[in-house]
Structure 1
């Protein structure tokens, strides 16, 4: 019985995360509609509010296509594992009344988020299609490149807060020099855009180039699982960004969940705004950006911040 509380809390967290993801897709379609001077979904019931439920029913009730030459077990299993990894990151939610406190939650975040590389590669390879494999290889190269920059950029606020706990970092006032803070935040946001395969870095699913990339052979329920994993990752990345770079003073602990939710919504809205504003980058420009700009900047910021922190203490 003693494990019943944490288990029920985790299940409720996952259900709420899936509901948030579902209505985030509706928000995206509405925002992109108004950006393009048109209406978004508005035919299903009141102002199109049940549209995500209708989309889910349509996708999961469709017939599941199974390519004859695909490695069937991996082909079916990869979308489920992808969604499971995205949902497991929600156990790091830095709430004041968490069911389980994880002292090194940032390390757990890095470990789980890096597993997406294997999911993408296995999904593309198991499809046994040259289009899917090409999309998977491009996505893996992109993700590995930005994993390096993401970890190095993340080290600067971690050194400033002297903690690896997401909950403690959320309450701490990071001493980041004012000149470096906007540059670090901007670099981090570029990195998570590439990590979540969002515009202008959506090369994993560049329909105009790759015939939908690594998920070419996926349809109906399996495609819906990949779709859900991507949007769940966007929301959790927005939450991590709000916790680390937009920390809340400990004096405001009583309204911390509300403040964190507002910051997360603003960060998630930026994903939609950027998608509606910027065209897709060229692939070689993207790789040049991470290896020639973001990587040297993240290392130089570490070299600059570390002595300041030691002098402060």
Structure 2
């Protein structure tokens, strides 16, 4: 019973911290994009606009929840919950250091990939149940996009699993710490690049935000949603961004550890908690998400599919073959 209570407390802490950080991320994104476009961003609500996320929450909470007349009511209502639940559940298997993890599963990577695949059904359900052609096209685009890029994402992570010899995320971090570089991003540079590009597409972020392309589909699968259900989609999107940022940090950048040759040069870095190093890597990747959105134009849908099937998947296969040969002959 004590163990169950402890797990519930840890889950509540993780969820509360992540939801708070997500709210602040929306503020940071608007500020960073504002600076990139030579403007200030939010400035009116609170000092320097710091209370803008609170104002946004209050506004959207009191909006009217509209359900279209032609919608499949039950599916329309549960679609945001499907996406949010199967996105948030991934937080339970993310190790933040050696001591703080809710569930250190032996199949951690497989669990995250499976949950991410199920959450996409929420987008498809939302698109179909809305009774709108724009929503329906957004759902179809999402299905095609995920099918294309999940394969590339899985291939890039397969190289990591092959080198570490485990699907357990904490084991992968420890395996990286034993290597010369202290991370897999350098010896697996191809897999790292494939993962980063696929992560952008998996989270429907620019320049791969085709399922909700406002210039073509109004708002894609979000077109008919309003009020709090509309906010749940965005909450799930930002949590998914942090899941991908955590994965790239744990699987390619050494997680909560730093390379040994750096700590040998600067021994004082040993005193910095591992959670701080992991947070720096995660927030660095989130900044990359925002920077790319501010600077890159959206791809056409045919270009998106060509990149997935003709570039990333072949590159992922080549990377996996090279890793297998290197491990078999030299390691």
TM-score normalised to the size of structure 2? 0.90
Distance in 1 (alpha carbons) for counterparts of 2:271 and 2:214 = 45
1:68 corresponds to: 69
C-alpha RMSD over aligned residues: 1.8
Figure out how many residues of one structure are paired with residues of the other and give that number: 313
Distance in 1 (alpha carbons) for counterparts of 2:174 and 2:22 = 26
- The question of 1:277 aligning with 2:295 is answered yes
1:42 corresponds to: 43
Are 2:185 and 2:253, in contact at CA under 8 Å, matched by a contact in 1? Answer: no
Taking the TM superposition and a 5 Å limit, the aligned residue runs for 1:1-313 are: 1-2=1-2, 3-95=4-96, 96-97=98-99, 98-173=101-176, 181-247=188-254, 248-249=257-258, 255-313=273-331
Shift of 1:177: 8.3
Distance in 2 (alpha carbons) for counterparts of 1:51 and 1:254 = 32
> Structure 1 residues 193-202 or 179-188, which shifts more?
179-188
Shift of 1:178: 8.0
Structure 1 residues 76-105: Cα deviation after superposition (integer angstroms, max 9, x where no partner): 111122111221111122122224321211
Distance in 2 (alpha carbons) for counterparts of 1:227 and 1:206 = 14
Alpha carbons of structure 1 residues 250 and 178: separation in structure 2 relative to 1, 3 Å: closer
Distance in 2 (alpha carbons) for counterparts of 1:177 and 1:237 = 16
Segments of structure 1 that go 5 or more residues without pairing to the other structure are none
Larger RCO (CA within 8 A; separation ≥ 6): 1
Are 2:83 and 2:121, in contact at CA under 8 Å, matched by a contact in 1? Answer: no
Structure 1 residues 253-303: Cα deviation after superposition (integer angstroms, max 9, x where no partner): 972211010000001100000011110011101101111111111111111
Are 2:135 and 2:224, in contact at CA under 8 Å, matched by a contact in 1? Answer: yes
Shift of 1:250: 8.6
Structure 1 residues 185-241: Cα deviation after superposition (integer angstroms, max 9, x where no partner): 222111000000011110011000111101110011110000110011111111111
Distance in 1 (alpha carbons) for counterparts of 2:73 and 2:88 = 24
Q: 4+ residue runs of structure 1 moved beyond 6 angstroms?
A: 175-179
Segments of structure 2 that go 5 or more residues without pairing to the other structure are 261-269
Distance in 2 (alpha carbons) for counterparts of 1:253 and 1:229 = 35
For the residue of structure 1 that corresponds to 2:47, the secondary structure is: coil
